[in-house]
C-alpha cells in the first residue's frame, strides 16, 4: 500500500514518476492483482508457465523437451466465481429512491458492474467522476493510490498509466496521469524505461464559465477531494482468488494438461522387435506400411519376433481427482453449477440450500458497493448543486422455481395485498415492474367503469333502445 507522505512526497517531479511506477510493477500487491485479472480472463498463470523439460548430461542443464506434448489446459472457473457474485447483485442498475435522472442511473449501473468485477479480481476498483457526470472505470493493475498515513481511506494522490503503440516494450509509448488535490497532470514517455515529461498543464476537476464585463472566462471551482470513488472487495482489499482457490484451480490445470499430454504422447502403438539388428529406419517404415495394408505380421524362423504394446493411461483416477477438486471449489466459493438447478422438481428450498454460500458472498459484498454508490451520489450533489439524500438498494438476480412461485401465489392471493401478489409475479419474471402493473390495472378499471357509465346514460336518454324485440313489435301494431 503506497503512502502519500513517504512514497509520493511533497517534492514530486516528473522524473519521480518512473521510479514510482517501477516500484509498483515489482510489488507483490500488483502481481496479485494482475494474476486475478489473468485468471478471470482464462489466462491461468501457473499452467501457462509449465514447460516439460529434461536433464541434459552433455550441457548439465535442464532443457525444453521438443519431443513431447506441451499442452496447457486451463480450468476457467474463476470467471464464474466472480461473474456469479457480481451479476447476482448488479445485473440491474441500483434503485435510487426519489432520483429521477434515469440516464445517470443506467450509467452508474454499468460503471458499478465493471468496477465490481475489477474489485473482485484485484481487491479494489476505481471510478473517476468527471464534470459532465461521466463515470470512468480504471484498471487497478496500472493504478497507484497514495493514501494518507493517518486515514488510509483518504486518497491524497493517484497515478494511472498505460502503454500504446508497438507490441514490443522498446517501441511502445507510455502515458501517465497524475491526480492531486489541485487537478490532473498528463505525462508522456517516448521510450520504454525513460523518464516522463509533462505534455499538458494541470487540468482542474471543475471549472465554471463566467460571462461579465471582463468577457468570457473559465474559473476554477475548488473541489473537496480528488473525484475518485474506491470500491473495496472486502476490509482487507484482497481479491477473490485466494491462495487455496488458486491451488485447487492450478492442480486441476496440471492434471488435465498432463492427461492430454499422455494421450498425445502414448496414443500410438509401439513395437518391440526381437533379433531385429537389420531393421533400420527404412525397413521399419516398410514394415509399418505392410501392417497397415495386410493387417498381418510374419516373423522369421531365426528367433525373431514382433510384439505390439500400448501404454495404459489411468483415466479413472484423474477424473475422480478433478471432480473432487471441483466439488471443493464449489464448497469454498459457492459458485453454482447450472446442472444442479435444472428440472421442475428442484424446489425453492433446495435452490436456497445450493446457493446459500453464494448469497453470503453477495451479502458481504453488497455493503461495499452500497458505500461506493453513496460516494458517487455525493459527487453528483456537489457537481450539480443538488441535495439528494435518498436511500439506495439493489435488485438481486436469484434462481427460483418459477412454477412453484406461481402456484403459491395463486393459493395465497385472497389473503395477501395486491402489492405482495404482484411482487411474487415479478420474482417469477411474469411482470417487469410492480408499480407499472398497478398503473395498468387502475387504467383498465377506469375504462371498465367508464363503459358502464356510458351505457346507463344511453338508457336514460333513450328508453326505446332497451326494448325487447316483442315490445318493439307490439308498438308497431298499436300504431
pLDDT at 224: 65
pLDDT at 471: 45
Q: Which residues contact 120 (CB under 8 A, 6 or more apart)?
A: 36, 82, 85, 86, 233, 239, 240, 365
Distance CA 203, CA 207 (A): 9
Q: Are 185 and 178 spatial neighbours (Cβ–Cβ below 8 Å)?
A: yes
Give whole-number Cα distances, 198 to 3, 8, 82, 185, 457, in Å.
23, 17, 38, 7, 82
Q: What residue has cell string 482489499?
A: 237
Q: What Rg value do the Cα atoms of the chain yield, rounded?
A: 35
Burial class, 304, CB count within 10 angstroms (exposed 0-12 / middle 13-18 / buried 19+): middle
Distance CA 247, CA 262 (A): 22
- Phi and psi torsions of 377, nearest 5°: -70, -30
**Residues 111, 359, 364, CA angle at the centre, nearest 5°?**
60
Give whole-number Cα distances, 207 to 158, 212, 217, 223, in Å.
21, 16, 10, 10
Give whole-number Cα distances, 251 to 67, 75, 79, 187, 243, in Å.
24, 10, 17, 43, 12
Among the listed residues 229, 205, 230, 217, the one whose alpha carbon sits nearest the alpha carbon of residue 383: 205
Q: Are 392 and 377 spatial neighbours (Cβ–Cβ below 8 Å)?
A: yes
Grid coordinates given for 333? 466459493
Q: What residue has cell string 453454482?
A: 336
Q: Are 92 and 395 spatial neighbours (Cβ–Cβ below 8 Å)?
A: yes
Q: What residue has cell string 445517470?
A: 104
Q: Are 294 and 322 spatial neighbours (Cβ–Cβ below 8 Å)?
A: no
Distance CA 472, CA 477 (A): 9
Distance CA 146, CA 328 (A): 38
Q: Are 464 and 457 spatial neighbours (Cβ–Cβ below 8 Å)?
A: no
Distance CA 45, CA 366 (A): 29
Q: Which residues on neighbouring strands pair with residue 127, listed in sequence order?
A: 137, 229
Distance CA 221, CA 204 (A): 8
| Residue 133, number of CB atoms within 10 A of its CB | 15
The domain ranges of the chain are: 2-55+68-73+116-232, 243-331
Q: Which residues on neighbouring strands pair with residue 218, listed in sequence order?
A: 209
Among the listed residues 116, 110, 96, 131, the one whose alpha carbon sits nearest the alpha carbon of residue 380: 131
Distance CA 196, CA 177 (A): 11
Q: What residue has cell string 465490481?
A: 116
Q: Which residues on neighbouring strands pair with residue 272, listed in sequence order?
A: 307
Each residue's pLDDT expressed in tens, for the chain with a length of 479 residues: 677 777 776 566 777 888 899 999 999 999 999 999 999 999 999 999 999 898 888 888 999 888 888 999 999 999 999 999 999 999 999 999 989 899 999 999 999 999 999 999 999 999 999 988 999 999 999 999 999 888 888 899 999 999 886 555 566 789 999 999 889 999 998 776 788 999 988 888 887 666 666 666 556 666 768 999 999 999 999 999 999 999 999 999 999 999 898 888 877 777 777 766 677 777 777 777 777 777 777 766 566 677 776 667 778 888 999 999 999 999 899 888 777 666 555 766 666 777 788 999 999 999 999 999 999 999 999 888 888 888 999 988 876 656 666 667 677 778 888 888 788 777 666 777 888 888 888 888 887 766 555 555 554 554 444 444 444 444 444 43
- Phi and psi torsions of 233, nearest 5°: -80, -30
Distance CA 441, CA 189 (A): 64
DSSP string, 392-423: EE--------HHHHHHHHHHHGGGS-HHHHHH
Coil, strand or helix: which one is 235?
A: coil
Amino acid at each position: 500500500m503506497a503512502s502519500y507522505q513517504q512514497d509520493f512526497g511533497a517534492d514530486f517531479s516528473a522524473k519521480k514518476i518512473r521510479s514510482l511506477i517501477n516500484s509498483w510493477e515489482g510489488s507483490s500487491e500488483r502481481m496479485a492483482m494482475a494474476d486475478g485479472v489473468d485468471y478471470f480472463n482464462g489466462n491461468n498463470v501457473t499452467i501457462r508457465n509449465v514447460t516439460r523439460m529434461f536433464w541434459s548430461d552433455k550441457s548439465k542443464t535442464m532443457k525444453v523437451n521438443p519431443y513431447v506434448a506441451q499442452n496447457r489446459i486451463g480450468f476457467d472457473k474463476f470467471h464464474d466465481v466472480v461473474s456469479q457474485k457480481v451479476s447476482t447483485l448488479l445485473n440491474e442498475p441500483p434503485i435510487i429512491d426519489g432520483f429521477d435522472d434515469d440516464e445517470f442511473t443506467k450509467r452508474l449501473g454499468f460503471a458499478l458492474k465493471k468496477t465490481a468485477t475489477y474489485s473482485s479480481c484485484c481487491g479494489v476498483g476505481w471510478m473517476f467522476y468527471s464534470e459532465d457526470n461521466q463515470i470512468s472505470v480504471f484498471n487497478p493493475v496500472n493504478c497507484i493510490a497514495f493514501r494518507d498515513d493517518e486515514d488510509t481511506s483518504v486518497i491524497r494522490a493517484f497515478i494511472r498509466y498505460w502503454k500504446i503503440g508497438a507490441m514490443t516494450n522498446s517501441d511502445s509509448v507510455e502515458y501517465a496521469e497524475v491526480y492531486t488535490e489541485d487537478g490532473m497532470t498528463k505525462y508522456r514517455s517516448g521510450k520504454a524505461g525513460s523518464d516522463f515529461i509533462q505534455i499538458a498543464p494541470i487540468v482542474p476537476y471543475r471549472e465554471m464559465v463566467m460571462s461579465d464585463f471582463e468577457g468570457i472566462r473559465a474559473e476554477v471551482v475548488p473541489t473537496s477531494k480528488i473525484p475518485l470513488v474506491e470500491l473495496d472487495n472486502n476490509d482487507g482489499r484482497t481479491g477473490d482468488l485466494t491462495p487455496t482457490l488458486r491451488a485447487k484451480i492450478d492442480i486441476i490445470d496440471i492434471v488435465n494438461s498432463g492427461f492430454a499430454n499422455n494421450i498425445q504422447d502414448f496414443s500410438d502403438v509401439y513395437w518391440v522387435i526381437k533379433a531385429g539388428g537389420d531393421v533400420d529406419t527404412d525397413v521399419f517404415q516398410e514394415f509399418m506400411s505392410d501392417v497397415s495394408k495386410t493387417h498381418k505380421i510374419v516373423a522369421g524362423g531365426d528367433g525373431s519376433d514382433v510384439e505390439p504394446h500400448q501404454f495404459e493411461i489411468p483415466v479413472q483416477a484423474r477424473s475422480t481427482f478433478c471432480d473432487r477438486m471441483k466439488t471443493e471449489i464449489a464448497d469454498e466459493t459457492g459458485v453454482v453449477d447450472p446442472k444442479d438447478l435444472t428440472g421442475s422438481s428442484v424446489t425453492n428450498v433446495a435452490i436456497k440450500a445450493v446457493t446459500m454460500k453464494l448469497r453470503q458472498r453477495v451479502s458481504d459484498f453488497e455493503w461495499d458497493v452500497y458505500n461506493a454508490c453513496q460516494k458517487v451520489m455525493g459527487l453528483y450533489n456537489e457537481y450539480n448543486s443538488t441535495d439528494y439524500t435518498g436511500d439506495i438498494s439493489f435488485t438481486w438476480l436469484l434462481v427460483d422455481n418459477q412454477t412453484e412461485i406461481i402456484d403459491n401465489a395463486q393459493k395465497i392471493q385472497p389473503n395477501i395485498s395486491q402489492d405482495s401478489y404482484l411482487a411474487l409475479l415479478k420474482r417469477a419474471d411474469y411482470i417487469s415492474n410492480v408499480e407499472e402493473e398497478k398503473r395498468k390495472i387502475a387504467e383498465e378499471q377506469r375504462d371498465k367503469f367508464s363503459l358502464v357509465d356510458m351505457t346507463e346514460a344511453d338508457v336514460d336518454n333513450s328508453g326505446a333502445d332497451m326494448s325487447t324485440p316483442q315490445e318493439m313489435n307490439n308498438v308497431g301494431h298499436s300504431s
